Structure 1
Amino acid sequence: MIADDPTDRRRRWHWRTLDTAAGGLALDLGLYGVSAIFAAITAVTSTLLPHRAWGSVAAVGYLVATLAVIVQLLLHRRNPTSRLAGLPARWAVTALTWGSTALLPVVWQSIERTAGRTDRAQEEVLVVEHAGARLVEHGTPYLGPDAIAALPPGEQLLGYTPYQPGMALFGLPRALIDTWWTDARVWFAVGTALALALAVAALRRTPSTAGPATANPRRDAALLRGVQAATVLPICALTLATGGDDLPVLALCLLALALAAAGRPGRAGLAVGLAGALKLFAWPVALVLIVWGLTRRAGTRVAIGAIGLPIAALLPALLVDRDALTENVLRFPLGHGLVTSPAQSPFPGHLIASALPAGRLIAAALLVAAGVAIAVRLARRPPRTAVAAALICGYGLLAAIALMPSTRFGYLLYPLALLTWAPALHRPSVATPAELSGRASSA
C-alpha cells in the first residue's frame, strides 16, 4: 500500500484536533446550534417561500438535536465512556436530525404541493419533472430552440433542462402518476440515501492496519462527520427539501471516492459515471479519479464507467434531437440561450463579470487559469490516494464556483462535503519490512 503524503497527514492532524474535542460532541454542538439559528433566520427572512417553509420545520429539528447533544456532553463529562455519549449515539442523533430537517420537509412540501400549493417547490423540481414527461412522450428530455422560443416569455426559463439526460429519470414517476410520492424530491432523497448507505458500507468494509474484523473508531468518527456534511449541513438539507437535484450527484461522487479508497477502481468509475450522467458538476471528479486510477494502473477501468456512462446517456438525446441537446446543455449554461440563467450569487466571478469592462472575458480567463493550474497539479503530482483525490476535487470545485460568472451559493455543498469526506477515506499505510525491523530493534 502506498504511504500517505506528509501534507495530507498534517491536514488530518489539524482537523482531528478540532473534530475530536469532547469526543466529537463539541463540533456536533456547534453544527446543530448554528444550523438551528440559520434555519430560524431562513424561516423569517427568506424571500423564497419553499425556503421559509423548510426553515420553519428544520429549526425545530436542529433545536432538538442541539438539546440532545447538550445532554450527551453532560453525560460525557461525567463518564467519557458512556454509551449514550458515544459514537453510535452520535450516529443516531445524525439520522434523526436528517429525518427531521430534510426528509420530513421533503414529504411535507410534496404533500402540500399535491394538495394545490404552488409555492412548495423550486423551479428545478418542475424542470426535472417536465424533462421526465418529455422523455416519455418524445424520447428526449429537451425542448429544441424553436419550441422554447414559442413559449410565453415568462415560461421560457422553465423550458430549459440544463442537466444531463439521466436527471430526467427522477421525473419519470411524476410523468406516470400525479401524487405526493412521485415528487422528484422524494426520488432525489431515495437516490441520495441509497448512494450514501453504499458509501458507508464500502468504507466500513475497508480493512485497517489492525485487520478487517477490527473496529476503527477514528475512521468511523471521520465517516460520521463526512455523512453529516452531506446530510444535516443546512446547505444540503435545505437543498434536498426545496430543490434537491444536486444531492444524488454529490452522494454518487462520495460513493465513487469511497470505492476508490476501498481499492475498487472499476466500481468507482461506474459511480462517478452515474453522477456524470446526471449533472456536469461530476465531470471534474471523474477526471481526477481517472488520474488517480492511472497511478494504480487502473485508469482504463475507471474511465470505462466514468466516461462511458455519460456518453451512453447522451447518445439517445443526440440521435433524437441534436439541436435541442446543444441548446440545453451547452448554449444555456454558457450564457448563449434565449434567456439567461438566474444563478447570480455575488462570488468573485459574477462580480467581475458584471462590474468590469469585458468582465465576462476576464472571469472566463481566470476560470481557465484555475483549470490549467489544477491540470498542472494533476500532471506533476497525481493523486495516489482517495484522500488526495477528494481534496483536489473539493478545492478545485471551490475555485470553479468562486470564478464562474453565473453560480449559486447552493453549489458550495459540493466542495464542503468533498473536503469533509476526505478524512474518512484515509487508509493507514502498512509499514514496510525495513520499518518493522527498525521498530523492533529500537524497542
Structure 2
Amino acid sequence: MSPSRTARWTTGWLLAAAWALSFPLLSTLEPHRLWGWCAAAGYLGAAGATVLGRRRAALAAALLGAVAVPLLWLVLTGQGQSEVTVIERSGRLLLESGRLYVDGPERVEEYTPYLPGMALLGVPRALLGGDGGGDGWAVRLLGDARIWCAAALFGCLWAARRLIGAGPGRLLPALVASPVVALPLVVSGVDLPLAGLCCLALAAAAGGRPALAGAALAGACALKWTALPAVAVAVALLAACRGGRPAVRCALVTAGGTALLVLPGALLQPAELWRQVFAFPTGRAQVPTPASSPLPGRLLAELGPWGWYLTVGLLLAGGLVVALSLLARPPRTVVAAADRLALGLTLAFLLAPAGRFGYLALPVLLSVWARSVTVPGRSLVVAGSSRPRPRDGRPRSRNERSGGHFR
C-alpha cells in the first residue's frame, strides 16, 4: 500500500473512531453507547494496523469492534432499539392471527410504521417460541430480527455482485465495518433489507433482468414506502439501456409483487395501516413520532399546520425535480443510477416532516456499494444497449452484445 493510500485509510479509521466516541458522550440510548465504545476501540485498532501495513488485520479489527462484539452482546442480552421488538411482534401477530398491527395503539411502542413485508423478518422469533425475556442463547441468536435483516442485506449484495460479474471487492468489508452499516446493523437492522433489495434491483436492471429487478423492487416496496424512488430509477435505467418493453415489464412485476405482499394486510386492517405506516411517520398521528432530528423538514413542520404543508410541498417538488432528471438524462450505469437514487432519497429524508440523521445512511450505502462493484477504468455501461457505441467506433462483437456482461 502506497504512503498516500495508507494515510487516507488511517485518517478514515480515525474519523470513524471519533464519530463512534460521540455516541457514549452524547447519546442517552444504552445500545448506542455500547456500540460507540466497542466501535471506537475497533477503529483505533484498525488505524494502528493500517500504519503498520497490515490491511487485513485492520479490517478484522474494525469488523470485530464495530460489528461482531457489540452485535453478539446486544443480541444475547436482549438489548436493542425498539424497532427490533416491533418487527418481532409483527411476526408473532402474523402467525397468531394473520394481523400485523396493534389495534388502536396508544403508545409509541405499539406503532408499527412498516408495510406487511417487514413482518416476515420477525417470523423466526415467533417460530422459535421466544418472547425476548428468558430465552436461551440459541433462541435469541437465531430468532433476533437483526440477524435476519443482516442476512437479507448480505444475501442481496452477494446476488448483486454475481449479476454484475464483479470480483470479490475490497471495499465491501470496509463498508460493512463503517459506521454507515455497522451502527444500524448492531442496534436495529431495520433499513438493511431495504438497502440490499435496492442494490439488487439496480444490479438486475443493469444486467438486463427486468423480472428479477421487479421482484427485488416489490420486496423493497413491501417493507417501507420509502422504496418507491428506487422503482423510478430502476425503470429509467432499463428504459435507457434496454428499451421500453423491459422497463414496462419491470414496472408490472413490481406492481403485481407489491400488491401480492401488501394487499392482504391492507384489506385486513386498512385503517391501522394508514395510521401507522403513513400518518405516524409523517407526524399526523395522535402519538408523535420519536424521529426528531433537526433536519429542515422537521423544523418547518414544527412551525404549525402551514409549516407541515410547506415541507410536504417541498418534498413533492423535490421528487418532481428528480423525476424530471430521470426523463431528461436517464442513468446508463450502475454508479449513475445509484447516485440518482441516493440523491432522491437524501432530498426525501431532509424534507420529510419527521426524520432522523440515521436515515441518511441508506443513500451513502448505495453510492459506496455502486463504486465497490465497479472496476476503475470501466464504465459498467450495459452491453446490448443501443448506445453509446465504443469510443473507437468499431462494431460490438457478439460477446459484447450479449446480456448480463459489462464493458
TM category (shorter chain) comes to: 0.7 to 0.9
How far residue 421 of structure 1 moved from its aligned partner, in angstroms, is 2.8
TM-score (norm 1): 0.77
Paired residues for 1:218-233 under 5 Å: 223-225=169-171, 228-229=174-175, 231-233=176-178
Give the equivalent residue in structure 2 for 1:418.
366
Trace 1:171-186 onto structure 2 (pairs within 5 A): 171-176=122-127, 177-178=129-130, 179-181=139-141, 182-186=143-147
Q: Distance in 2 between matches of 1:434 and 1:254?
A: 29
**Separation in 2, partners of 1:357, 1:276:** 29
Aligned to 1:427: 380
The 1:184/1:357 distance shift into structure 2, 3 A limit, reads closer
Q: Please report how far the alpha carbon of residue 419 of structure 1 lies from its aligned counterpart in structure 2 after TM superposition.
A: 2.2
- 8 Å contact from structure 1 (residues 107, 180) kept in 2: no
CA separation of 1:370 and 1:22: change in aligned 2, threshold 3 A: farther
Deviations 1:175-199 (A, max 9, x none): 2322311121122222222222222
Q: Which has the higher contact order (CA 8 A, sep 6+)?
A: 1
Pick one of 89, 97, 122 that aligns with 2:81: 122
Shift of 1:433: 7.2
Q: Are the structure 2 counterparts of residues 301 and 428 from structure 1 closer, same or farther at C-alpha, using a change threshold of 3 Å?
A: closer
Is it true that 1:52 corresponds to 2:33 in the alignment? yes
Q: In the alignment, what sits opposite 2:256? A: 308
Distance in 2, Cα, partners of 1:374 & 1:428: 21
**Shift in CA distance, 40/313, structure 1 to aligned 2, threshold 3 Å:** same
Q: Cα gap change, 1:23/1:164 in structure 2, threshold over 3 Å: closer, same or farther?
A: farther
1:43 and 2:4 correspond? no
3-state SS of paired residue (1:162): coil
Q: Which runs of 5+ in 2 are unaligned?
A: 131-138, 396-407
| TM-aligned CA distance change 1:24 to 1:280, over 3 Å | farther
- 1:72-110 Cα offsets, whole Å, 9 max, x none, are 2xxxxxxxxxxx66xxx4xx7446633431233221111
1:161 aligns with 2:109: no
- The whole-number CA distance in structure 1 between the counterparts of 2:35 and 2:222 is 29
CA distance in 2, matches of 1:433, 1:67: 45
Query: Residues 31 and 269 of structure 1: is their aligned pair in 2 closer, same or farther, counting only changes over 3 Å?
Result: farther
| Unaligned runs of at least 5 residues, structure 1 | 1-19, 73-83, 114-119, 150-155, 207-214, 439-443
Residues 23, 299 of structure 1: alpha-carbon distance in 2 compared, 3 angstrom cutoff: farther
1:178-233 Cα distance to aligned partner (Å, 9 max, x none): 23111211222222222222223333x25xxxxxxxx7xxxx7xx5336634x222
Cα distance in 1 for partners of 2:314, 2:19 equals 32
Task: Give me the whole-angstrom Cα distance separating, in 2, the residues matched to 1:125 and 1:108.
Answer: 15
Residues 246 and 392 of structure 1, relative CA distance in 2, 3 Å threshold: same
- Contact 1:143–1:160 under 8 Å retained in 2: yes
1:31 touches 1:233 (CA, 8 Å); kept in 2? no
Q: Secondary structure at the match of 2:28?
A: coil
Paired AA for residue 184 in structure 1: A
Give SS of 1:281's match: helix
- What letter matches 1:198 in structure 2? A
- Other-structure match for 1:237: 182
Take 2:153 and 2:35, find their aligned partners in 1: how far apart are those partners?
18
Alpha-carbon separation, structure 1, partners of 2:2 and 2:317: 39
Task: Pick closer, same or farther for the CA change 1:394–1:34 going to 2, 3 Å.
Answer: same
**Worse-matched range after superposition: 22-31 or 313-322:** 22-31
> Which whole-Å CA distance do the structure 1 matches of 2:217 and 2:8 have between them?
30
- 1:274 is aligned to 219
The correspondence of residues 243-254 of structure 1 with structure 2, limited to 5 A, is 243-254=188-199
Matched residues, number: 373
1:345 counterpart letter in structure 2 = S
Instruction: Note the C-alpha offset of 1:309.
Output: 2.3
Supply the distance in 1 between the matched residues of 2:344 and 2:2 (Cα, whole angstroms).
Answer: 29
Distance in 2 (CA, whole Å) between partners of 1:38 and 1:433 is 44
Please state if 1:402 is matched with 2:350.
Answer: yes
Q: Kindly tell me: are residues 136 and 401 of structure 1, through their superposed partners in 2, closer, same or farther at Cα, counting changes over 3 Å? A: same
1:102 aligns with 2:67: yes
The residue number in structure 1 matching 2:398 is none
Which deviates more from structure 2 when the two are superposed, residues 264-273 or residues 427-436? Answer: 427-436
| Identity within the alignment, % | 36
Q: How does 1:5-24 map to 2 (within 5 A)?
A: 22=3, 24=5
Query: How far does residue 24 in structure 1 lie from its aligned partner after superposition?
Result: 4.5
> 8 Å contact 1:103–1:189 — kept in the other structure?
no
Assess if the C-alpha contact under 8 Å between 1:107 and 1:186 holds in 2: no
Change (3 A) 1:378 1:21: farther
